[in-house]
């Protein structure tokens, strides 16, 4: 059992803290926002993440929240830095939060051997930067070198919406460190996960065939680059299938079949080959941009990563073009958006493809009315676009000229599409995630468009209102 502090109560920090407490460690989650800490003490989470609330309840006895470095740091054996690293104006991550965390840690570092763990996604070389900041702050506070501490890099690979699952049952754990003792501390900390020796929580059973988890130990720079490499590769994989989807449409192929045929090659793998509106979220856009910026800094142009980004942002435009192909003009039309979150099972709107699409539609003079099963409240307070919001399928679809599915929430498949058709001015469905049951929709009288799949169904013979 270790004394752990996690600095930063965001997705990564809170999940990491809750999971480590669940495994038996004593964890303090530190956030500089006192209001957030007060909420957490009362059991209120700042965002929705499946199973996190339940895990926190199960681990309550070992989990505390604070906004004071001096209270948490001196007795800690392992301190995670899990603060935000948003993109700065030049694309490189803004490290100001990581810097102030390192300074706060340095000022209050205790007597015993302490491992400072960089979990935030930071450019290669940041481990050394954090180490320097901790050392400097300790020196300023105490007038001497800190006795015993080491900085390690331990990138996270959590998907939002599945963060607890991914933490308990990871594909691998990566730790970069120069200090052998620090590696040992990290191995001990993660032992229940590495050995899969913990009792699974009732709501997240251990997957069948889950074996021991590989523990990848490496130098700091490699660990930092593994994180960027993994995210950029996944982003590239999605952009690749989206690029191929455009060609599939032209030649009359079905990208879902193509993806299946490609993905069954074990060298490629079936996941992250879902064509659609492209990727968004808090990681892929920021990390690919950071990788390009890092390449620039070191004179490596990174054309593949740049292209993955271009293809991705073009994908939203392709959806607009497809709507224009059917409706001729978007001026004055009302377009319904199914989904606002950047992916299902989260209310996170950061870099959401749905919102980027909304910007393009509004720019074309359309009205945009949006629905999301979870992100509506958040959108109302965080999004500054002139969107209309609808809470029910009926309110969303009444009088609209098309509906675009932007986020693949499972419940959209089970909407009563047959009875909803009559509400729409034009029964046109643009399924930008290839998620809906197209045969069912066509049978119900819709015109159906997808991404990289044949368009099906016809609109009424008299023509589309407003297209002449
Ligand atoms: C990602 C990484 O998966 C995770 O390992 C990393 O640590 C953080 O970034 P996340 O951003 O939560 O996780 O979401 P993810 O499930 O990876 O999806 C990212 C985006 O790609 C979403 O907008 C999703 O809709 C899109 N996507 C995903 C596709 O368009 N097609 C796919 O096949 C898969």
Tens digits of residue pLDDT in 3-34: 999 999 999 999 999 999 999 999 999 999 99
257 vs 88, which has greater pLDDT?
257
- d(CA 404, CA 432) in angstroms, rounded, equals 7
Do 179 and 231 have their domain in common? Answer: no
- How does pLDDT run across 339-357, given as a tens digit for each residue? 999 999 999 999 999 999 9
Report the run of H or E that residue 38 belongs to, with start and end.
helix 34-41
Say if residue 232 is in the same domain as residue 140: no
Q: Is the CB of 389 under 6 A from ligand 1?
A: no
Q: What integer is the mean pLDDT of 428-449?
A: 97
> Is there a contact between 337 and 390 (Cβ–Cβ < 8 Å)?
no
Q: Give yes or no for residue 106 CB within 6 A of ligand 1.
A: no
Q: Are residues 320 and 200 in the same domain?
A: no
Distance of CA 210 to the CA centre of its chain: 24
Ligand 1: which atom is nearest the Cα of residue 160? Answer: 12
Q: Which domain holds residue 271?
A: 219-468
What is the share, in percent, of the chain residues with pLDDT greater than 70? 99
DSSP codes, 365-423: T-EEEEE-TTTHHHHHHH--S--EE-SSHHHHHTT-SEEEE-S--GGGGGS-HHHHGGG
Choose the residue to mutate in 52, 159, 338, 345 for probing ligand 1, maximizing ligand atoms within 8 Å of C-beta: 159
227 and 153 in a common domain: no
| 447, pLDDT greater than 80 | yes
Any atom of ligand 1 within 6 Å of the Cβ of 356: no
Nearest CA to ligand 1 atom 16: 159
Our answer on whether the CB atom of 239 is closer than 6 Å to any ligand 1 atom is: no
Catalytic machinery residues: 283
Say if ligand 1 is within 6 A of residue 302 CB. no
**Contact assessment for residue 113 and residue 149, using Cβ atoms and an 8 Å cutoff:** yes
Residue nearest to atom 1 of ligand 1 (CA): 159
Domain end marker among 196, 218, 240 = 218
Together in a domain, 423 and 306: yes
Same domain, 250 and 317: yes
Instruction: Report residue 111's pLDDT band, with 50, 70 and 90 as the boundaries.
Output: confident
Asked whether residue 394 falls in the same domain as residue 453, the answer is yes
343 and 457 housed in the same domain: yes
Rounded to the nearest whole angstrom, what is the distance from the C-alpha of residue 402 to the centroid of ligand 1?
27
Per DSSP, the three-state class of 217 is: strand
Tokens of 172: 């691998």
Domain count, the chain: 2
Does residue 209 sit in the same domain as residue 298? no
- Considering 218, 252, 282, which residue would you say is the last residue of a domain? 218
Which domain CATH number covers 379? 3.40.50.720
Q: Exposure pattern of 271-310 as b/e (b: 16+ CB <10 Å)?
A: ebbbbbbbbbbbbbbbbbbbbbbbeeeeeeebeebeebbe
Question: Domain check: are 203 and 228 in the same one?
Answer: no
**Helix H or strand E segment including 259:** helix 255-263
Residue 65 alpha carbon to ligand 1 centre in Å: 29
- Rounded distance from Cα 235 to ligand 1 centre (Å): 8
The answer to whether residues 132 and 11 belong to one domain is: yes
In this prediction, residues 177-182 reach a mean pLDDT of 94
pLDDT recorded at residue 289: 95
Give the highest mean pLDDT range of 103-112, 120-129, 429-438.
429-438
Distance CA 92, CA 293 (A): 6
Same domain, 200 and 295: no
Give residue 182's pLDDT.
96
Residue nearest to atom 9 of ligand 1 (CA): 283
Domain boundary among 218, 245, 270: 218
């Amino acid at each position: 059992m270790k004394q752990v502090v996690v600095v930063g109560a965001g997705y990564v920090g809170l999940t990491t803290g809750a999971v480590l407490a669940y495994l038996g460690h004593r964890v303090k989650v530190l956030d500089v926002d006192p209001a957030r800490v007060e909420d957490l003490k009362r059991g209120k989470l700042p965002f929705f993440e499946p199973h996190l609330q339940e895990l926190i309840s199960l681990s309550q006895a070992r989990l505390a929240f604070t906004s004071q470095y001096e209270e948490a740091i001196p007795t800690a054996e392992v301190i995670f830095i899990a603060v935000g690293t948003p993109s700065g104006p030049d694309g490189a991550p803004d490290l100001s939060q990581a810097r102030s965390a390192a300074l706060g840690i340095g000022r209050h570092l205790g007597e015993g051997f302490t491992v400072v763990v960089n979990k935030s996604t930071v450019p290669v070389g940041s481990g050394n930067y954090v180490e320097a900041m901790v050392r400097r702050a300790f020196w300023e506070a105490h007038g001497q070198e800190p006795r015993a501490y080491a900085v390690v890099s331990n990138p996270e690979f959590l998907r939002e919406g599945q963060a607890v699952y991914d933490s308990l049952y990871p594909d691998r754990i990566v730790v970069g460190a120069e200090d052998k003792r620090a590696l040992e501390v990290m191995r001990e900390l993660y032992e229940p996960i590495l050995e899969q020796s913990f009792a699974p929580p009732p709501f997240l059973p251990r997957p069948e065939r889950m074996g021991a988890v590989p523990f990848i130990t490496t130098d700091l720079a490699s660990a930092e680059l593994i994180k960027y490499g993994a995210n950029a590769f996944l982003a590239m994989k999605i952009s690749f299938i989206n690029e191929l989807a455009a060609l599939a449409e032209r030649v009359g192929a079905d990208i879902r079949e193509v993806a299946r045929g490609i993905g069954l090659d074990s060298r490629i793998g079936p996941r992250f080959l879902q064509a659609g509106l492209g990727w968004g979220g808090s990681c892929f856009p920021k990390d690919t941009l950071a990788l390009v910026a890092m390449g620039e800094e070191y004179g490596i142009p990174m054309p593949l990563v740049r292209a993955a980004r271009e293809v991705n942002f073009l994908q939203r435009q392709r959806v607009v073009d497809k709507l224009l192909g059917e409706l001729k003009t978007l001026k004055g039309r009302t377009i319904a958006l199914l989904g606002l979150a950047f992916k299902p099972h989260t209310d996170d709107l950061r870099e959401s493809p749905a919102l980027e699409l909304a910007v393009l539609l509004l720019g074309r003079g359309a009205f945009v009315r949006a629905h999301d099963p979870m992100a509506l409240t958040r959108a109302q307070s965080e999004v500054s676009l002139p969107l209309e919001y609808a809470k029910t399928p009926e309110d969303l679809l009444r009088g609209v000229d098309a509906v675009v599915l932007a986020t693949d929430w499972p419940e959209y498949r089970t909407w009563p599409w047959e009875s909803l058709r009559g509400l729409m001015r034009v029964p046109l469905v643009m399924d930008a995630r290839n998620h809906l049951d197209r045969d069912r929709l066509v049978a119900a009288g819709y015109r159906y468009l997808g991404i990289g799949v044949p368009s099906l169904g016809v609109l009424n013979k008299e023509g589309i209102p407003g297209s002449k």
